[in-house]
Amino acid sequence: MNPVASQAPHRSLGLTDAEYELICEKLGREPNPLELAVFSLMWSEHCGYKHSRKLLKLLPTEGPHVVMGPGENAGAVDVGDGLAIAFKVESHNHPSAVEPFQGAATGVGGILRDVFAIGARPIAILDSLRFGELDTARSRYLLDHAVAGIGHYGNSIGVATVGGEIYFEGPYEQNCLVNAMCLGLAPKDKMIRSAAAGVGNVIVLMGALTGRDGIGGASVLASAELDEDEDKRPTVQIGDPFEEKKLLESSLELLDRGLLTSLQDLGAAGLTSSSSEMASKGEVGIEIDIDQVPLREADMEPFEVMISESQERMLCVVEPERLDEVFTVCSKWDVRATAIGTVTDTRRLRVLADGEVVGDMPVEALVDDCPVYDLDPVEPSEPVYPAPAAKLDGRESPGDLLLALLASPNIASKRWAFEQYDWIVGSRTTRRPEEAEAAILMLELDGASGAIAVSIDGNGRRVACDPYTGAVEAVLECARNLACVGAEPLGLTNCLNFGNPEKPHIAWQLTRAVEGLRDACLAVEAPVVGGNVSLYNEGGGGPIYPTPVVGMVGKLPDPTMVPWSGFREPGHAIALVGPFEPSLAGSELEKLAGTLSTELPAIDVDRHAAALVAIRDAVRSGVVATAHDVSEGGLACAVAECAIAAGIGARVDLGEDFALFGEGPGGVLLAASPEAIEKLAEPLQPHGFRVIGRTGGDRVDIKAGVATLSVPVAAAQEAHGGSLPSRFE
């Protein structure tokens, strides 16, 4: 390789030689430094989706409840009474691996802006987190500071953090995952799109000052493998939730008063991506005068202003005659608002500084002509991931195994984390985290009927075992959590966290996972309304587990009928419902034993979808006291978790050999009075219904053929509740 050519500016910005030549062709000349920086960001993986765009077309995006689908800042579904729920999940993985507090905090800030950018008031946050094993100091540091960052931003801005998940696996040691999901509520007829419109209209920048923090941050960090030896700390954005709160309120008032033509969040790539995407969607041009952008640092170069990822900023289009009204509203909320440009008919992004044109690029070239690559998927012939370290010696009794699983960080209570979050602010949350299988948010506060339920799920280890089946399971897990509270799925968002897609085995993982998501979404009738792709999550330690994270929103008629996830009274009958066929493949017990399977049992998605409808109807009948899905740790852990919640034991007899700790989709535990369970038997019988025990006592007793276990509820509570806090003592 020519050492001089290897130092070419476009290569240092992540562009290939072929891409650089294409840029020259589109411009009809070589780009200047500002234009090259702009193209490098717009054609990055994070902004351009160049390795995933074709694949994402496989996902179903239409449905009777869809109001806004992919392509907008957030998707939205109709929840009746003239209201819509906007929601989206996004990643902030690489920044969080570099600086976990600010990386996680600004991840929350960014997803909030995506939601209120379409005119919806944020009402809830969920998070999906992945770290290395907790026996390493690095993983404990990342977890501690990421959780603190999420709590800081959400608590300060006053949006409830109502749910989430945390997993710990070796492949996330160098590349943690921080995925944040937000839900917002809006009048359906007042939501706004981001397309710029109206030649001669004014481009207004609202919010915080523009500085060097975040330059090349999310867009660059998320478009290449993370080099742990390189100091990337200056590229992590710095968040200010109090500034965002003012920006939120001013944006919603401006929209409510009809003063804006369009609105766009400034996220990855800052002014570059927001202006380009607004112009592309509106089929117009935009001209920006850099000299008008309020700066935190006076000596910033024009290219720095264009690519800064400083937080708490929005870009809007305003008719000239309404400009003063916009400034008045922003002043009321103490929000900085500055006219920095105009909408043109040129279909070009033009950047001016000192009265001179310093950048002139076709919008179509920046956005629509971003190269899109075909993946080259090849199923690996050898294991991609090493087996996890064994934590068991093989001599444990079934009772010992149950306690070990309950104390495993993947299954143990996450109370240590969620108690750092305000889950009740806004007065919509009906249950605290871990009290129901999905978060429940009331709609009555806005004059609407019923409530919404939301869940976020994924299991990277199971997807590593079998990308297709593991992705199907993630969708079914979300839908099952919604069924356990009586909610009907309305729509789905996802965040696809994978390694380097240019490697054939990673391309295979990504392709098979998306195919699994497609088939499962079709089966449960949950269209994909938006999401995010995070690739290149790997470094010297290899790739992360392939981790599609799924967030699903549903509607339920009466939040007062939602069952609890724990047992409520002694003497209740316990039933197991659903097409549950347990297997140790990909299970938490298999991990503790130090092995990793290469496939999972096949799933009949239509059978599972039908069972979910029946379970949802049973819950809506109002007679079910407890509904708890069987997930990590299998049936034994599910029974124990129900007992732990209220200190009520159970006696279960499965009457046959049964993989007590086997996992797989489909299983739901229902508990209610014997009379109520008897009434549910007939409608649930076609879906795998059987009564397996009774609640009561102070022990968890389970018999399955020759296998038996008996564990005091108090011991189970100690193992389950004390595991995470003990790591930080």
> What is the set of active-site residues?
46, 92
Residue in the structure block whose two tokens are 């193992």: 719
Name which of 568, 532, 549 is nearest 672 in CA terms: 568
As a whole number of angstroms, the distance between CA 137 and CA 117 comes to 38
Tokens (6 digits) for 522: 């079709």
The token pair that represents 463 in the structure block: 């997807």
CA-nearest of 234, 260, 354, 268 to 316 is 260
State phi, psi for 266 to the nearest 5 degrees: -95, 100
379 φ/ψ angles, rounded to the nearest 5 degrees: -65, 130
Q: Confirm if 155 and 132 have CB atoms less than 8 A apart.
A: no
Q: Which residues pair with 690 in a beta bridge?
A: 576
Residue 444: left (phi > 0), alpha (psi -120 to 50), or beta?
Answer: alpha
Three-state secondary-structure class, residue 177: strand
Handedness of CA 326, 328, 333, 338 (dihedral sign): positive
DSSP readout, 207-235?
ESPB-STTTTTHHHHTTS---TTS--GGG
What distance in Å separates the CA atoms of residue 434 and residue 107, rounded to the nearest whole number? 24
Within 549-673, residue ranges assigned H as helices are 588-593, 605-620, 634-646
CA–CA gap between residue 260 and residue 519 (Å, rounded): 39
Burial class (CB in 10 A: 0-12, 13-18, 19+), 586: buried
The Cα–Cα gap between 714 and 729 comes to: 21
Query: What's the rounded Cα separation, in Å, for the pair 687 and 5?
Result: 64
Query: Is there a contact between 262 and 195 (Cβ–Cβ < 8 Å)?
Result: yes
Instruction: Give yes or no for a contact between 71 and 144, defined as CB atoms under 8 angstroms apart.
Output: no
Longest dimension (CA), the chain: 84
